[in-house]
Amino acid sequence: MGYLTRQPPSWRRVVAAAESQYGVLSHAQLLALGLSRQAIKHRVARGKVHRVYRGVYAVGRPQLDRNGQRVAALLACGSGSALSHSASAEFWRFGPQEPSLELTISPPRTIKHPGLQIHRSTTLTAPELITVAGIRVTDPLRTLVDLAPRWQHQRVDDAIERMSQINLRSPPQLLGQLEQRAPIPGSGIVREVLTRWALSLTDTQLERRFLPIAKRAGLPLPLTQQVVNGHRVDFYWPDLRLVVEADSLRYHRTAARQDADARRDQAHVAAGLIPLRFTHAQITYEPGSVERTLRRIASTPAVST
Positions in the chain whose pLDDT score sits under 70: 1-9, 249-255, 301-305
Amino acid identity, position 184: I
pLDDT tens sequence across 239-260: 999 999 988 765 445 667 778 8
Amino acid identity, position 84: S
Write down all domains in the chain, each with its CATH number in brackets.
1-64 (1.10.10), 203-304 (3.40.960.10)
Residues 187/180, Cβ–Cβ less than 8 Å: no
pLDDT at 53: 96
Q: Which residues pair with 58 in a beta bridge?
A: 24, 50
pLDDT at 251: 47
Q: Which residues contact 231 (CB under 8 A, 6 or more apart)?
A: 264, 267, 268
Residues 26/56, Cβ–Cβ less than 8 Å: yes
pLDDT at 247: 81
pLDDT tens sequence across 278-291: 988 899 989 999 99
Residues 69/76, Cβ–Cβ less than 8 Å: no
pLDDT at 10: 75
Amino acid identity, position 264: R
pLDDT at 8: 65
pTM of structure? 0.74
The string of DSSP codes covering 34-103 is T--HHHHHHHHHTTSEEEEETTEEEES-S---HHHHHHHHHHHH-TT-EE-HHHHHHHTTSSPPPSSEEE
- 101-105 and 129-132 beta bridge pairing: unpaired
